[in-house]
Amino acid sequence: MNRYVSTKTLKTDSLVRRKATTLFPVIPIDPNTDVYIRTTSIERLDKLALQFYGDQAWWWVIAVSNGLGKGTIIVPMDTRIRIPDKNVVMNLLNTINQTR
């Protein structure tokens, strides 16, 4: 799932194209499907995404869910991380993309 699928392309007066700002959705906490881990060493968001979602491009889901990734994909040791269920995230993104 491409997180930019509903992001609009804008043109400046000089016809330069750029993508509009993309706001990521708040991923609701679901105690029935969320997985929680505690890092025992320094981790990377992309490697966690590959492990839990099978796709390293989903690193942003973990970052958004945990308020991480502002300038780095490194997760410090002994950090509690919430991993939302992939199906919950897919349904949320599909709903958002259908309304745009």
Residue 48 domain-assigned?
yes
pLDDT digits (tens, 9 = 90+) for 52-86: 999 999 999 999 999 887 788 999 999 999 999 99
- The backbone torsions φ and ψ at residue 36, rounded to the nearest 5 degrees and listed phi first, read -115, 135
Q: Is residue 19 included in any domain, yes or no?
A: no
Q: Is 26 exposed, middle or buried (0-12, 13-18, 19+ CB in 10 A)?
A: exposed
Residue 91 inside a domain? The answer is: yes
Q: Residue 3: its pLDDT value, please? A: 57
Domain span including residue 80 = 28-99
Write down the mean pLDDT value for the chain. 85
Q: Where does the chain show beta strands of DSSP type E?
A: 9-11, 17-19, 35-38, 43-44, 74-75, 80-83
Total count of domains within the chain: 1
Whether residue 15 lies inside any domain: the answer is no
Mean pLDDT, rounded, for 3-30? 74
Quote the pLDDT of residue 46. Answer: 95
For the entire predicted model, the pTM comes to 0.76
